Amino acid sequence: MPPTEDFAALLRESDLRVTRPRVAVLSAVHAHPHASTDAVIDAVRVTLPEVSHQAVYDSLHTLTAAGLVRRIQPSGSPARYESRTGDNHHHLICRSCGSIADVDCAVGTAPCLTASDDLGYDIDEAEVIYWGTCPGCH
């Protein structure tokens, strides 16, 4: 995981103010891929015990909007975040234990974005979730 200064640099590159909560959140997401908001809050409080949940929510929104972090929102479970962005990978989610794994796109680099017929929509992202049972759960 990159050191703190690198996270600060990432923030600056996106024209975001460098604040302690943001650095801590960014670092937490890098350290815990697919962590839920709650898990991020816990992780952040290890180094920054006084952060409010609101600051974490705000930071996650800002970072998501800036593209530094990606939000995953599987049906029926709270939002989760990951640091791999822009590399067109998808997710494998276990119905029984909720574990999430990364899979590279089966189709290739970006053809994923092509629907059979776009109906006039201007598509900017294809989200693919494979639902199943993980090796540990059967």
Partner DNA sequence: GGCTAATCTTGACTCGTTCAAGAAAGGGCG
Partner DNA sequence: CGCCCTTTCTTGAACGAGTCAAGATTAGCC
Considering only residues 42 to 61 of the shown chain, the ones binding DNA according to CB under 7 A are: 50-55, 57-59, 61
Does residue 117 bind a second copy (CB under 8 A)? yes
Place of tokens 């276990």: 94
DSSP element (H, E) containing 94? strand 89-94
Name which position in 50, 105, 109, 110 contacts a second copy (CB under 8 A).
Answer: 105
Name which position in 4, 32, 33, 37 contacts DNA (CB under 7 A).
Answer: 37
| Contact between 49 and 37 (Cβ < 8 Å) | no
Q: Which of 56, 45, 53, 49 is nearest to 19 (CA)?
A: 56
Binding segment toward DNA, per CB under 7 A, in 14-22, 88-96, 109-117, 120-128: 14-22
Judging by beta carbons within 10 Å of its beta carbon (0-12, 13-18, 19+), is residue 80 exposed, middle or buried? buried
Binding segment toward a second copy, per CB under 8 A, in 3-11, 21-29, 34-42, 127-135: 127-135
Does residue 10 bind DNA (CB under 7 A)? no
Closest approach of Cβ 64 to DNA, in Å? Answer: 10
Cα separation, 53 vs 74, in Å, equals 21
Angle formed at CA 134 by CA 133 and CA 138, multiple of 5 degrees? 70
Does residue 18 bind DNA (CB under 7 A)? yes
* Residue 37 contact partner, candidates a second copy, DNA, none, CB within 5 to 8 A by sort of partner: DNA
Closest approach of Cβ 112 to a second copy, in Å? Answer: 9
